[in-house]
Amino acid sequence: MTDAEDRKPQSDEARNAFVPPSGLAATADNESSTTSEFALPDGLAVPKPGQESETTSEFALPDGLDVAPPPQPEPEGSAFSTPRTYSARHATFTPPAGVPLVRLTKDVPWQDRMRTMLRMPVTERPAPEPVQRHDDSGPAVPRVLDLSLRIGELLLAGGEGAEDVEAAMFAVCRSYGLDRCEPNVTFTLLAVSYQPSLVDDPVTASRTVRRRSPDYTRLAAVYQLVDDLSDDETQVSLEEAYRRLAEMRRNRHPYPGWALTAASGLLAGSASVLVGGGLLVFVAAAVGAMLGDRLAWLCAGRGLPEFYQFTVAATPPAAIGVALTLAHADVKASAVITGGLFALLPGRALVAGVQDGLTGFYITASARLLEVLYFFVGIVIGVLTVLYFGVQLGANLVPDAALGGSDPQPMLQIAASLGLSLAFAVLLQQERSTVLMVTLNGGVAWVVYGAMHDAGDISPVASTAVAAGVVGLFGQLLARYRFASALPYTTAAIGPLLPGSATYFGLLGIAQNEVDSGLTSLTKAVALAMAIAIGVNLGSEISRLFLRIGSAEKRRAAKRTRGF
């Protein structure tokens, strides 16, 4: 074999050194070498064995690309946590002097503190400080909400305003550490909702108020319970609070039935003296009012609505007045009928309705005023029925006879106003310790009214408004002194100011077919009633205006919309 032949196989072997052995190697004969189509061309750099590239996914990152590590999930926070992008250095929306700190002093009544927080947005309310202790698992939210609803039910049934009912419900929830609560009060429905945070499901409970009874002794006991719950020095558990509520419901009224009947007679008799009646008129008005009270109790026992109870109760005083006129007795029959109307006029519901309207609870205010309207229509029907038959029988009813002539007796009228306020307080089932104060408050109101109207010759509407304002001011001060509700100190004191005579004159004018004069008198009665309600509320607001109520700057108004 020649040298050329020796060199040729070596060249072919060297050229095919990296071809896999499975049929890719060249033959050792003189035949031409056969290669695979996957063989590497000459001159191509081939990686060394063991350094071949691994198969990767199409989502693999290319070499040389710098990628930051994936961000860690942020811990879940509440609505009150500071945002991640917030910087106090670049916070341009913060006032130059800073956000004012809300301070709630603990030496003021709980009503003012709770009312202040209710008028704040939820995010601006101060952090709660649970007053009542509970176990480590926290308070039982459904039971706390149920307790607040039961307390609100007793307050609303007792005639308390919607704003004060909401404040009491919020105070109960906050005393057990439930700060994100929103109570809602309407005329017959109470509701409260609690949401621990924005990511938790809310818990909502409601309760319906189906019956109302003016028992101010029970009202004062409920206020005392809420005050104890709001006091950090008095520990009241949920079981203890429920037990005290059960005792309030079981307790009997402080006055028996015969005392209530006698109080209605004293109220009517005192009212007849205020409009110029004498001893015989006092007795006749008292007898008529007591008969009407017994008939109303009989109708209530039969299940008749209050509308018919007022209609029936208004007939005996009117019937006695007409009978005395037909008998030609030397008495002022108009004063007898006027005194009987004083015992029926719904002054309590009227004041509560106007108060709810002035504080922004328009639905509840409309319902209360509609209730007053129904009661008033019932009284009108009862009195008009009797007056119509009296006029047909020839009764000569003269409206001027009820005015008492031109020789008023101030001392006798002051005594009558005191007796009227005393009787009104008994009818409202007030505590015996508050009867004296509310009686004196009613006497002061009548002195203010007499000094302005009789001595100063000022219009009766303006005089009534000022006198009612004095009642509201003194009532609020007494309530603050005792950390109680202001209703027991104001409702009975406005009794001497109720528009009984104007109501009677309007009804008499309609019965005698003098519609114009009758409507004029009824319009005056409505104006006097509104003056009473607005005056009482304004007096209460004035007392709050000049006393500390626990806020940093001033008390926030219920509405800031200015009508739009």
Contact (CB, 8 A) for 44 and 50 = no
Residue 155: how many other CB atoms lie within 10 Å: 28
Rounded to the nearest 10 degrees, how much is the dihedral formed by the CA atoms of 543, 548, 550, 551? 90
Over the chain (564 residues), the average pLDDT of each successive run of 10 is 50 49 47 60 63 59 66 56 54 49 53 68 62 60 91 88 88 84 89 82 87 83 88 81 88 82 90 83 90 89 87 89 81 79 78 80 87 85 84 67 56 89 88 88 89 85 88 83 78 82 73 77 82 81 63 44 40
Q: Which of 276, 372, 265 is nearest to 320 (CA)?
A: 265
CA-based torsion, 523, 528, 531, 532: positive or negative: negative
User: Contact 326/393 with Cβ under 8 angstroms?
Assistant: yes
Q: Distance between CA atoms of 275 and 278, rounded to whole angstroms?
A: 10
As a whole number of angstroms, the distance between CA 130 and CA 151 comes to 19
Please tell me the predicted confidence (pLDDT) of residue 405. 47
| Strand, helix or coil for residue 523 | helix
**What pLDDT, on the 0 to 100 scale, is given for residue 560?**
42
Six token digits for residue 530: 């509104």
How far is the CA of 229 from the CAs of 101, 114, 147, 151, 172, in angstroms?
25, 13, 11, 12, 7
Q: What is the pLDDT of residue 547?
A: 61
pTM of the shown model: 0.69
Angle ∠(303,306,311) on CA atoms, nearest 5:
110
Helix, strand, coil distribution of the chain in percent, nearest 5: 60, 5, 40
Q: What are the angstrom distances between the C-alpha of 104 and each of 124, 148, 172, 236, 556?
A: 13, 22, 16, 22, 14
pLDDT value of residue 279: 85
User: Residue-wise over 91-117: b if at least 16 C-beta within 10 A, else e?
Assistant: eeeeeeeeeeeeebeeebbbbbbbbbb
Q: How far is CA 312 from CA 133, 309, 342, in A?
A: 53, 5, 15
pLDDT at 291: 92
- The pLDDT of residue 126 is 65
The pLDDT value recorded for residue 150 is 92
Q: How far is CA 217 from the centre of its chain?
A: 21
What pLDDT does 188 receive?
86
